[in-house]
Structure formats: structure tokens, C-alpha cells
Amino acid sequence: MARSTAVLTIVLFSTAMALAMAATDDRRPQQNSHSHPGPSPVSNPLDVIATTNAAPSEAPTGFDDQPNGMVDSSTHGMDAAVFSEVEDGAGGLGPLFNAQSCRECHQTPAVGGVSQVTELRVGYVDAHGNFTNPNIAIGDGSVTIANRSLVNDRAMCPSADYPANEVQEHAPDRVNVRTLRSSLNTLGDGFIEAISSATIIDIATKQCKGSFGQVCGQVIQVPVAEAPGQTRVARFGWKNQHASLLSFSADAYLNEMGVTSRLQPTDLTSLCKTTTDPEDHQDTDGNSDIDRFARFMRASKAPARDLNLANTADAEAGAAIFDKLGCDTCHVPTIVTAPAGSVINGGSLIVPDALGNKIIHPYSDFLLHNVGTGDGIVQNGGPATAQKLRTPPLWGVRLRSRFLHDGRALTFTDAIRAHDNEASRATRGFFNLSDQEKQQLLTFLKSL
Ligand code: HEC
Ligand code: HEC
């Protein structure tokens, strides 16, 4: 486990041309989304943005299982089937895992969506406030999984073949940071991946200036697994662990399901392991499962509004209140993706026509903020991010049954009440609204 990757934390940027001012944090990227990092030194070029004279057009939305135009319907159907496939031991599942298929946690209201499933993360904070990942002992203490904040909830053994192997992970006794992380929607994520890094940096700069330093989201650069040595502005996961859907897929396949791939080739333990790494193989058409997961998410339509509600006078008034309160500073309503032909993900992906120059309404800035709900865990962003979370996109939020990263809020009002620190002004504004205005804002949220 001798890794020495540097993570670059971008502190300040003014324009896409201003490549400077990166503060280096020499911690290696820690447990990712789901979680293990790649080694290798990093560089952080911005995406190479193509030019276009065409006016941007609205991205297609819907929960109809149909693709957004990036692939044909039958390819999308086959990719959805791989995303939904239930793995077993012979297919590489485990030895440690959380669930048997991507769909198990990404299902509502359509394959790729969200669910109530949460997972467990733990760590230590010392007297000086420094966070470290624990080492997790399994096999009755015979084996240690080093540097791991994700505690898998399920294990394959002991079993008939391996009666003596106890591999279930547990939070070590000394752990003093613990949190649950709820699942996230992946539908429409191809559009998010297609947002240029410069656009996210620009949002950060403007929001900080516009709020006179009150709301200053943090940009972080994270490794792109399929482009060794490259990093990109993060945008996926509660802690902004990833910038690429292929990287996230490989990470999830290993850390949620225990399936190794070319990008995450080593299993978490060899105890009670029957298969040979990497377990995810290329098909005859050259694609592995991780490629199909990524293509499935990239080809998915963005979450659709509840149009019956969205067109009511109350929801429209609520949208205006949302902006007036400054919720839109972080939950940014509209972003345009990079033009088709732009080169992203450290040179490994070209934005296709279906995803380029599209107007999307994610209601997120994809930046890390301290809104007073922080879980104390440090992942790819370095110590300053311990109490921060990425602004969750609110598109499709009406389909969640529990809110916030740990699912602690069950109503929109409770979710808003939990916002403090950087969001304290917006929260105060909400509680100062008249009952009718509050209702209008909630109606707007229910239409998203
Ligand atoms: C046991 C449940 C579970 C399984 C199985 C699972 N995920 Fe996830 N997924 C999560 C959780 C929880 C998060 C949020 C993790 C975090 O940020 O800490 C997440 C987040 C994601 C995200 C980030 C979405 C965003 O917009 O930020 C992607 C992409 C993703 N998962 C893809 C996959 C893929 C592909 C698979 C199958 C290989 C998979 N997941 C399997 C629970 C699961
Ligand atoms: C400073 C940035 C910021 C501002 C301003 C802000 N939010 Fe948030 N919002 C966040 C972050 C970060 C989270 C995630 C917190 C967590 O999960 O612990 C969040 C979470 C939420 C959620 C829960 C989403 C989910 O999927 O669980 C809702 C709903 C929400 N915000 C609505 C609002 C509303 C309404 C306002 C205005 C009154 C507002 N927010 C203002 C950053 C902000």
C-alpha cells in the first residue's frame, strides 16, 4: 500500500486560462466513493474545449428507460441489463461487498436512479483534528485491510468451502467518526461529466465574489483512473470523489460489489476468494462491464420535472423564492455542457454530440461546501474538506424518501433547517417567509 499521489486542491481561480494557485496537499487520495484510489503522480490540465457557433439546446429528460441519443435503444437496453445484473461468487462478487448489483442501490424510479440504501464510513480524528482512515482487521485478526474508511456490510464467508474464514468487516473500536452515506441518482450523469472543469471553477469564483466571501465552494482535482497521471475537477459523489463515470464505475464495482476490473485490479482481500483478478473481462465487442456501466449512465436522460406541479402558479412562485433566498447560489439551476468534440477526463473521453452544448437544470454547483452537516470524513479533497459536502443536485430530488448525505432529514423543511454556516443566510430567509411563501417553495422542491 505504498502510494504517494499528490492531490491538488484548487484554492482560487479566476478564468479558465488561470492555471495557477494550486495548493498541494501531499496526502494521497483516500478512499473514494465507494473507494480505493490509484497511485501515480498527477497533473491537472483543464479539459480541452471545442468551439461551436450553435445555440445550446435543452437536454432530453425522462424516466422512460430510453437513451438520450448517445446510443440506440437496444444498446441502452443491453447496458441497463448489465447495470442490473445480479452477481454471485462465480461472477466475482465479494469476498466483501454491499450489494449484488448496481441496480440494487440505483433503482428509483428507473434503473440508474436512487434508493434508500446507505453505507457505512468510519475514521479517526486525533486531538489536533487530523483525520485518518482506519485499518480494518478481518479473518479473526489475521489480515488487515489498510487505510479503509468504507466498512462493507456483507461478506461471502464463512461458507461451505471456507468454513474457517471470517471476513466480515467491522468498525474498529477506536473509531470516533462514523457516518452513513445514502445512494445517489446516476440518471443524467453523462451531462454532468460533460460540464467543462472551467465552468465549475467559474461558478466557484463568481459565487464567492457575489456573496462577498460568504459562500465559497471548494474545487478539488481528483485522479482519473483511466488516464494515469491525470486529474480533473471533481463532480461525483457526496464528497466529490470522482470526475469520471468510468472511474466511478470501477470504484463501485470493487467497493460495493467486490468485483475487480482493469482499473481496480486488486481485490480487498484474498481470504475466501475463488476467482482470479481482474474479474471483469472484455466481451467480444471489446467492452468490459465497467465500460457498459459508464455508457449506460452517459446515455441516460436527465431526471424529468413533475410537469403537473412544475406548471402551477405556486411552483413558479416557489422557484422565484428559491432564487431570492440564494438557494440558487449553490443549487445552480442552469448549466451548459461543453461543446461536442471537447476532450475531457484527462484526454480519455471526447464529448459526444448527444451530450455536448446541452442546457441542463441540475440545481447544483458541484462544489464542496460546509453547510454545518459535515461528517468529518476526508476522502480525495484533503483535510479542509472534512466537514464539507458537494451540493447535491436537486433534479429528481422529489423521488428521494430521505434527504441529506446520511438520510437524517425526512422532510424538505428538515433538510433546509439543517443548512447552516455557508447556507445560514438562505436558511434564515426561509424561516422568515410567510406560511404561503414557504408552501410555495416546498411545492417547487416537490416539482423537481
Ligand atoms: C450498496 C449500494 C450501492 C451499490 C451496489 C452501488 N452503488 Fe453507486 N452509490 C451508492 C452510494 C451510497 C453512493 C454515494 C457514495 C458516496 O458519495 O459516498 C453512490 C454513488 C454512485 C455514483 C455517483 C453519482 C453522482 O452523481 O454523484 C455513481 C456514478 C455510482 N454510484 C455508480 C454505481 C455503479 C456503476 C454501480 C455498480 C457497479 C454502483 N454504483 C453500485 C450505493 C451503491
Ligand atoms: C452554501 C451552499 C448551499 C445553499 C445556499 C443551499 N444549499 Fe441546500 N444543500 C447544500 C449542501 C452541501 C447539501 C448537502 C448537505 C448534506 O447532505 O449533509 C444540501 C442539501 C439540500 C437538500 C437535500 C438534497 C438531498 O438530495 O438530500 C435540499 C432539499 C436542499 N439542500 C435545499 C436547499 C434550499 C431550499 C436552499 C435555500 C433555502 C438551500 N438548499 C441552500 C448546499 C447549499
pLDDT at 34: 55
Whether 116 maps to a domain, the answer reads yes
- What spacing in Å lies between the alpha carbon of 144 and ligand 2's midpoint? 37
The response to whether residue 97 sits with its C-beta less than 6 Å from ligand 1 reads no
pLDDT at 9: 36
Whether this prediction's pTM lies above 0.85 is answered by yes
pLDDT at 6: 36
Question: Which ligand 1 atom sits closest to the C-alpha of 239?
Answer: 17
The response to whether residue 415 sits with its C-beta less than 6 Å from ligand 2 reads yes
Report the amino acid identity of residue 355.
Answer: L
pLDDT at 44: 62
Rounded to the nearest 5°, which phi and psi values hold at 344? -125, -175
pLDDT in tens, 131-144: 999 999 999 999 99
Residues 6+ positions from 102 with CB-CB distance below 8 Å: 83, 84, 252, 256, 257, 293
Whether 2 maps to a domain, the answer reads no
User: Strand 358-360 vs strand 57-58: parallel, antiparallel, or unpaired?
Assistant: parallel
pLDDT in tens, 99-146: 999 999 999 999 999 999 999 999 999 999 899 999 999 999 999 999
The response to whether residue 374 sits with its C-beta less than 6 Å from ligand 1 reads no
| Number of domains observed in the structure of the chain | 1
Q: Which ligand is nearest to the CA of 319?
A: 2
Whether 349 maps to a domain, the answer reads yes
pLDDT at 40: 47
| Better-scored residue on pLDDT, 20 or 319 | 319
Q: Is the pLDDT of residue 35 over 60?
A: no
- What spacing in Å lies between the alpha carbon of 416 and ligand 2's midpoint? 7
Confidence of residue 3 (pLDDT cuts 50, 70, 90): very low
Q: Which ligand is nearest to the CA of 419?
A: 2
Residue nearest to atom 25 of ligand 1 (CA): 236
What is the percent of the chain with per-residue pLDDT over 70, rounded to a whole number? 90
Confidence of residue 46 (pLDDT cuts 50, 70, 90): confident
pLDDT in tens, 348-392: 999 999 999 999 999 999 999 999 999 999 999 999 999 999 999
Q: Is the pLDDT of residue 291 over 70?
A: yes
Whether 128 maps to a domain, the answer reads yes
pLDDT at 42: 52
What value does the mean pLDDT take over residues 302-330?
98
For a mutational test of ligand 1's pocket, the pick from 100, 106, 235, 246, i.e. the residue with the most ligand atoms closer than 8 A to its C-beta, is 106
Supply the mean pLDDT for the chain.
Answer: 91
Question: Which ligand 1 atom sits closest to the C-alpha of 182?
Answer: 12
- Kindly tell me the number of DSSP H helices and DSSP E strands found in the chain: 12, 19
* Cα Rg of the chain, angstroms: 21
pLDDT in tens, 217-270: 999 999 999 999 999 999 999 999 999 999 999 999 999 999 999 999 999 999
Report the amino acid identity of residue 373.
Answer: T
Whether 1 maps to a domain, the answer reads no
Q: Is the pLDDT of residue 1 over 60?
A: no
Domain that holds residue 239: 7-447
CA dihedral defined by 297, 38, 29, 84, rounded to 10 degrees? Answer: 30
Q: Where are the beta strands (DSSP E) in 55-159?
A: 57-58, 96-97, 118-125, 131-132, 136-138, 143-145, 150-151, 154-155
